[in-house]
Amino acid sequence: MRDFRATVSACVGRRELMLLAGAGAAAGLLPRAARAASATDATLIKAARAEGAVNTIALPPDWANYGTIISTFEKKYGVRVNNAAPDDSSAQELQSIRSMKGQSRGPDAVDVGLSFALIGVSEGLFRPYKVATWDSIPDAMKDANGLWFGDYFGLISLGVNRSVAKTAPMSWADLKKPEYKGMVSLNGSPLGAGAAFGAVMAAAIANGGSLDDIMPGIQFFAELAKLGNFNPTSATAASIVSGQTPIVVNWDYLNLAQAKKSKGMVEIDTIIPEGAKPYGAFYCQAISKYSPNPRAVELWEEFLYSDAGQILFLQGFAHPARFADMVKRGAISKELMADLPPAAPYGEALFSSNDQSKKAQAALAANWTKMVKA
């Protein structure tokens, strides 16, 4: 089960989170420190087709539109994608690099949370590569040496079942209203689930805290619990649709995808709370130092970071790394933009550093259970 993770110690089924770092050296190939060739470069395509396949790992077909991304790549280039263990965590992805180095079935690339990208860098598991669109990836979402680079991000949002919550809450303060008694839930526990961790961080930012101070977020949920508005049931797709957890604080792309999936059964609004900068998290691509298909994986990365590949992420409601650049250039259709929450401040998103996440996790471990009593 692929979920964002806040730190190395906060691992849930399928995923994790964030920061920047270090250096590393390529092995077996010349470091591609200069800009990569275009994804349509005939030499690269020919070399990738000669290898025949690219080995990916931990890419669920219903997560960030990866099913469509994979099939589109295969059809476009005639290169097979061998996607192993779609439900693996970021930690398991790194372990696959370690345990399968030198094997033809080893992963060519991983899609991991930032804290795990940093582990990979520290262990020398990756080789540098810079895609042709490198300059339009925000600096905060890439390693300067090309050892990892963010591919998509999400923001904390409110998913609201309008059959139960007749009036949608528009801000964090609204969640305290008596009309939402027993309605507000998280996607798991903030002690382990990245989406829930993000929810508490977002609440902290909106209530006088910061990326360095999560305590106001813990206090916010403690107050919700005292008011009777916090529902300790971990939200699932079924519980949102049934109304058991009608207001879910979750990543926006998950709420948006659920709204689309539930259309015709129930109306689900996705709201980025007003009055505060949003909190976000992103995943990172990195090429294995031991990649068995070195040119095919380069073609795979070029495709992911092309306009076409980035739009495919957006069609799965995950916001691509190059979102701001593409909006500026008018590369995203009005129809696709209309599917996103209105006026969502994507350019203002705040992202925790690894140190900030560790500090916040320590505060959660010390205070969440004793303060938030639902």
Q: What is the pLDDT of residues 30-82, one digit of tens each?
A: 333 334 444 458 999 999 999 999 999 999 888 889 999 999 999 999 999 99
Asked if the model's pLDDT at residue 21 lies above 60, the reply is no
Residue with structure tokens 């609440």? 203
Both 310 and 341 in one domain: the answer is yes
What pLDDT is recorded for position 32?
A: 39
Pairing outcome for strands 247-251 and 149-161: antiparallel
The whole-angstrom separation of Cα 161 and Cα 187 is 15
Both 176 and 49 in one domain: the answer is no
Q: Considering the domain boundaries, does residue 11 fall inside one?
A: no
Both 174 and 71 in one domain: the answer is no
Domain count, the chain: 2
Q: Considering the domain boundaries, does residue 14 fall inside one?
A: no
- Residue 2 in contact with residue 62, Cβ under 8 Å? no
Both 221 and 361 in one domain: the answer is yes
Lowest average pLDDT, out of 102-116, 162-176, 328-342, goes to: 328-342
Q: Considering the domain boundaries, does residue 208 fall inside one?
A: yes
What pLDDT is recorded for position 114?
A: 83
Q: Considering the domain boundaries, does residue 32 fall inside one?
A: no
Range of the domain at 147: 42-153+282-345
Both 52 and 86 in one domain: the answer is yes
Concatenated DSSP letters of 211-269: TTB-HHHHHHHHHHHHHT-B--SPP-HHHHHHTSS-EEEEEHHHHHHHHHHTTTT--EE
Pairing outcome for strands 184-186 and 247-251: parallel
Both 159 and 54 in one domain: the answer is no
Both 217 and 139 in one domain: the answer is no
Residue 11: pLDDT band (50, 70, 90) is very low
Lowest average pLDDT, out of 63-77, 141-155, 189-203, 319-333, goes to: 189-203
Residue 342: pLDDT band (50, 70, 90) is low
Lowest average pLDDT, out of 6-15, 69-78, 239-248, goes to: 6-15
Residue with structure tokens 């526990």? 189
Q: What is the pLDDT of residues 285-341, one digit of tens each?
A: 999 999 999 999 999 999 999 999 999 999 988 989 999 899 999 999 999 888 776
Residue type at 226 in one-letter notation: K
Q: Considering the domain boundaries, does residue 86 fall inside one?
A: yes
- Residue 150 CA, distance from chain mean position: 9
Both 48 and 138 in one domain: the answer is yes
Residue 97: pLDDT band (50, 70, 90) is very high
What pLDDT is recorded for position 140?
A: 84
Q: Considering the domain boundaries, does residue 260 fall inside one?
A: yes
Both 121 and 265 in one domain: the answer is no
Both 250 and 358 in one domain: the answer is yes
The mean per-residue pLDDT over the stretch 224-240 comes to 94
Check which CATH number belongs to the domain holding 307 and give it: 3.40.190.10
Both 304 and 216 in one domain: the answer is no
The mean per-residue pLDDT over the stretch 108-135 comes to 94
Which residues, 6 or more positions from 236, have their beta carbon under 8 angstroms from its beta carbon?
Answer: 245
The whole-angstrom separation of Cα 364 and Cα 356 is 12
Asked if the model's pLDDT at residue 130 lies above 60, the reply is yes
- Residue 235 in contact with residue 228, Cβ under 8 Å? no
Q: Considering the domain boundaries, does residue 257 fall inside one?
A: yes
Tell me the CA distances in angstroms from 134 to 32, 73, 137, 257, one per residue in order: 12, 20, 6, 28
